[in-house]
Amino acid sequence: MARVTIEDCLQNVENRFQLVHLAAKRVRQVREGADFLIKSKNKDVVTVLREIAANRVTVKKNEDSPE
């Protein structure tokens, strides 16, 4: 499998700040027992970035926030 890059992930999230928060939250979920959404032989963080790049993990927009 090709390398996952930040640019791959940024196609599915708005900015790097949001990417860091999304990845950190998802890694915590996995470490607490959640199943991975894709198969990968990589470590947790890389696998989570692969999930984000594959658009399997997305940001849930707050309905109360102005846009």
CATH number of 22's domain: 3.90.940.10
Domain housing 44? 6-53
Task: Look up the pTM and report it.
Answer: 0.83
CB distance 59 to 13 below 8 Å? yes
DSSP-H helix ranges across 1-67: 6-10, 16-31, 44-53
Q: Is residue 23 part of a domain?
A: yes
Rounded CA gap, 40 and 52, in Å? 13
- Tell me whether residue 42 is in a domain: yes
Task: Tell whether 63 is covered by a domain.
Answer: no
Rounded CA gap, 35 and 22, in Å? 16
Domain count of the fold of the chain: 1
pLDDT tens track of the chain, all 67 residues? Answer: 568 889 999 999 999 999 999 999 999 999 999 999 999 999 999 999 999 999 999 888 765 545 4
| Residue 24: inside a domain | yes
